[in-house]
Amino acid sequence: MQLAERTFIVTGGGSGLGAATARMLIDAGTRVTLVDHDADSVETQARALGESALAVTADVTREADGERAIAATRERFGAIHGLINCAGIAPAEKIHGKRGVHGLDSFRRVVDINLIGTFNLLRLAVAAMQDNPTEDDDFERGVVINTASVAAFEGQIGQAAYAASKAGVVGLTLPAARELAASGIRVMAIAPGIFDTAMMQDMPAEVRDGLNAKVPFPKRMGHAEEYAALVRQILENRYLNGEVIRLDGGIRMSAT
């Protein structure tokens, strides 16, 4: 996809991987709607990006909020060419730990935000993309990029809910790509390893050091800009479709 003059929605745009992706897209000459349920951070990020950015405070799990984000984007920018789903949470909880049995509501909440929230925006964005004129000989109309995690493949102890939600994102990718191929819409997912965002910054220094040591090379957490660079490659490289790409410095997570 040609990026200039195109319009993208980035969920989780108020922080971390989503904020870096929105920045990359603005620098590439696109228009971006940043969607996040944290009003302060999404407004601040969008303001810093200038006139080509729009902030929408919305909870990705809610149908009405998703519809409002799509409508606001179409009203401001006219069309939607891409969706990058970055909104997510990663709380740790054991199935049967010191704090007792895993809560059902806490399990549901993780699946609700990470998986159902991803699907909510996907279904609404691809409906809007059907109206796009096709782009040159490949008849492309749009691209969706979801964010999974290496936890989808190697969930650690305490990640039952998180790993299950991200495995759902992985499972969604191929059937969505197959179905939407007829509309000229590609669907991809990125499975990040450990990235230096708010999600990781709250951890104690010794935990962070331990995680860095587990990465084969380079021995550090990923930078959000490295995630954004892969988003750009996926958007621009039309032959990428229906695949989950690990972006992880070679890490394979252990049980703990």
Ligand X SMILES: NC(=O)c1ccc[n+]([C@@H]2O[C@H](COP(=O)([O-])OP(=O)(O)OC[C@H]3O[C@@H](n4cnc5c(N)ncnc54)[C@H](O)[C@@H]3O)[C@@H](O)[C@H]2O)c1
Q: Which residues are catalytic?
A: 162
- What angle do helix axes 160-180 and 117-129 make, rounded to 10 degrees? 20
Q: Furthest-apart CA pair in the chain: how many Å?
A: 59
Residues 122-151 that bind ligand X (CB under 6 A): 147, 149
**Spatial contact of 87 and 117, defined as CB atoms under 8 Å apart:** yes
| Kind and range of the H or E run holding 111 | helix 104-111
- Among 1, 49, 69, 88, contact with ligand X (rule: CB under 6 A): 88
Q: How far is the CB of 185 from ligand X (least distance, A)?
A: 21
Q: Which residues 177-216 are close enough to bind ligand X by CB under 6 A?
A: 192, 194-195, 197-200
Q: Does 84 bind ligand X (CB under 6 A)?
A: no
Judged by CB under 6 A, does residue 234 bind ligand X?
no
**How do strand 96-97 and strand 100-101 relate by DSSP bridges?**
antiparallel
State the number of binding residues for ligand X (CB under 6 A): 31
Write down the least CB distance from residue 56 to ligand X, Å.
10
The CB-of-55 to ligand X minimum distance in angstroms stands at 12
15 binds ligand X (CB under 6 A): yes
Q: Which helix (H) or strand (E) holds 135?
A: none
12 binds ligand X (CB under 6 A): yes
> Binding pattern to ligand X, positions 149-178, x when CB under 6 A?
x-----------------------------
Identify the bridge partners of residue 187 per DSSP, sorted by sequence position: 144
CB of 244 to ligand X, least distance (A): 12
67 within 8 A of 106, measured Cβ to Cβ = no
Q: Tally Cβ neighbours within 10 Å of residue 218.
A: 10
Strands (E), 111-163: 142-147
CB count in 10 Å sphere of residue 62: 14
Residue numbers of the site for ligand X (CB under 6 A)? 11-12, 14-18, 36-38, 41, 59-61, 86-90, 113-114, 117, 147, 149, 192, 194-195, 197-200
